[in-house]
Amino acid sequence: MSLSRKRSIIVRRLLQAIPVIVLSTFIVFGLLKLVPGDVAVTLAGDNASDARIAEIQHIYGLDRPFLVQYGSWLWKAVHGDLSSSLVSSESVLSSIERCLPHTMLIVVLAMLLALVIGIPLGIAAASKPGSWTDGFVMTVASLGVAIPNFWLGMLMVAFFSLDLNWLPATGATPISEDFWDAIRHAILPACALASGGIAEVARQLRSSLVEILSSQQVRTLHAKGLPPSSILWRHGLKNVSVNLLTVISLLFNRMLAATVVVEAVFAIPGMGNLIVNGAIHRDFPVVQGVVFAMVLIVVTLNLLTDVLYSILDPRIS
C-alpha cells in the first residue's frame, strides 16, 4: 500500500471519529438528563426547597431546553473548553490532566503484566496441547477470568500491604513527582487489573496458535525439515500476531473501563473516580469531559491497531 493511501485512510478514520465522539457524548448527556436526580438538588444542599432548586436551575442554566444545554457544552468543547464542575467548580480539563496519568499508569502497567505473563503461558500451553502444562495453564486462565478483580485486589491488599507491609494499600503518587513511588503505588492495582488480562491473552494465544500449528502449512514446514522451535517462533507467532493485536486492543479498552472499580478499591484519584463522582451528583460537565477523553483514547487506539494490522499483514488494507 502506498504511503499516501495510508495517510488518506488515517485521515478518513480520524474524521469518522468525530461523529462517534458527538454521538457518545450526546447519549451520555441524554442518559444523565433522563434518569431521575438533578445536580440542582446537590447544589441546593441540605436546606433545599422547591423555590431554591428552581432558582439554582436558573442560575446554572439548567432550566434551558435539553438541546440548548448540550449545544452550549459542545460549542465550548469544540473550542477547547470542557467547562467546570458544577459542584466544585474545578475546571474539567485540569481534573482530567490530574486524573488521567494515574489511570493510564495502572492500565499500561496491567497491560505489560498481561503480555509478559500471558504470552509465555499461552505459548507453553499451545506447544503441547493436551499436556499437563496445557491443562494447568488453562485452569489458571479460567480462574483468572472468573475471579472479580476488585475482590482479588482486596485480598492482595490484605496480604501484601497489611500483613507483609511491602506495598502501599491505597492512594497514588503522580509519576512526574516521584517515579518509583508512583510505580510502587501502581503495582497492586495493576496486578488486580491484569489478572483477567493475563488469562485472556494466554487463552486466545493458545487457541489461535494451536490452530496455526495444526494447519497444512505447518505440516509442510515440518516435512521440509524445519526444527519445531523455528516453526513456532518464526511461522507460528507471526501468524497469530494479528489475532493477538485484536485481543490487546480490546483488552486495553476493557481495562480502561475496569479501572472504575479498581480505583475505588485502592482509592486512586483517577478517571474512574472522577466519573463515578460526577455521575452520582449528575455533574454533567465532569461526566461529559471524562467520556470525551475516554472516547478520544479508544478511537486513537483503534486507529493505531488498524495501522498496525496493515503493517503486520499486508493483505489487510
Partner 1 sequence: MTNPNRMVGMLSRREILALAGSAALASMTGLPAFAQEAAKKGGILKVAAPANPSSLDPATGGAGSDHSILWTMYDTLVEWDYTTLKPKPGLAKWSYPDPKTMVLDITKGIKFHDGTDLDAEAVKFNLERNRQDPRSNVKADLTSVASVEVTGPLQVTLKLKNPDTALPAILSDRAGMMVSPTNIKALGNDTNRKPVGAGPWKFVSWADNASIVVTRNETYWRPGRPYLDGIEFSIIPELATALRSVIAGENEMAFSLPARLKPVIDRAKNLQVITAPTLYCIQLYFNYARAPLNNVKVRQAINFALDRQAFVKATMSGLGEPATMTLPSSHWAYDKSVSTLYPHDPAKAKKLLAEAGFKDGIELTIGSYNDQDSVRRSEVLQAQLGAAGIRLKFTRGTIAEISAQFFATEKKFDVLLSAWTGRPDPSMTYALGFDKGAYYNAGREADPELVKLIQQSRESEDLAERAKVFAKIQRFIMENGLSAPIAFQYELDALSKKAQGYKPNLLGKPKFENMHLG
Query: Would you give the binding string for partner 1 spanning residues 57-86, x where CB under 8 A is met?
Result: --x-------------------------x-
Q: Does 104 bind partner 1 (CB under 8 A)?
A: no
Q: Is the separation of the CB atoms in 314 and 1 below 8 Å?
A: yes
The residue written with cell numbers 494479528 in the block is 242
Q: Does 197 bind partner 1 (CB under 8 A)?
A: no
- Closest to partner 1 by CB, 276 vs 308, is 276
Q: Does 181 bind partner 1 (CB under 8 A)?
A: no
Q: How far is CA 80 from CA 38, 76, 77, 92, 93, in A?
A: 26, 6, 5, 11, 9
Q: Does 45 bind partner 1 (CB under 8 A)?
A: yes
For the CB of residue 160, give the shortest distance to partner 1 in the complex, in Å: 10
User: C-alpha 71: how far from its chain's center?
Assistant: 28
For the CB of residue 277, give the shortest distance to partner 1 in the complex, in Å: 5
Q: How far is CA 188 from CA 87, 118, 145, 178, in A?
A: 32, 17, 18, 17
Q: Is the separation of the CB atoms in 132 and 171 below 8 Å?
A: no
- Closest to partner 1 by CB, 136 vs 151, is 151
Look up residue 28 and give its three cell numbers.
Answer: 451520555
Instruction: List, as one string, the DSSP characters of 54-92.
Output: HHHHHHTTTTS-HHHHHHHHHHHHHTT---B-TTT--BH
For the CB of residue 145, give the shortest distance to partner 1 in the complex, in Å: 24
Q: Does 171 bind partner 1 (CB under 8 A)?
A: yes
Look up residue 22 and give its three cell numbers.
Answer: 458527538
Q: Is the separation of the CB atoms in 259 and 85 below 8 Å?
A: no
- Beta-carbon contacts of residue 37 (< 8 Å; ≥ 6 apart): 282
- Closest to partner 1 by CB, 18 vs 59, is 59
- Closest to partner 1 by CB, 2 vs 165, is 165
Residues 127-166 that bind partner 1 (CB under 8 A): 154, 157, 161-162, 165
Q: Does 90 bind partner 1 (CB under 8 A)?
A: yes
Q: Name the nearest CA neighbour of 111 among 175, 196, 207, 236.
A: 196
Q: Is the separation of the CB atoms in 240 and 158 below 8 Å?
A: no
For the CB of residue 286, give the shortest distance to partner 1 in the complex, in Å: 8
Binding part of the chain for partner 1, among 1-9, 53-61, 246-254, 293-301 by CB under 8 A, reads 53-61
Taking CA 22 as the corner, what is the angle to CA 21 and CA 23, rounded to the nearest 5 degrees? 95
Q: Does 206 bind partner 1 (CB under 8 A)?
A: no
Using CB under 8 A as the binding criterion, the count of chain residues that bind partner 1 stands at 46
- Closest to partner 1 by CB, 59 vs 116, is 59
Taking CB under 8 A as the criterion, the residue among 72, 88, 217, 300 binding partner 1 is 88
Residues 242-281 that bind partner 1 (CB under 8 A): 264-267, 269, 273-274, 277, 280-281
Site of interaction with partner 1 (CB under 8 A): 35-38, 41-50, 52-53, 55, 59, 85, 87-90, 95, 98-99, 154, 157, 161-162, 165, 168-171, 264-267, 269, 273-274, 277, 280-282
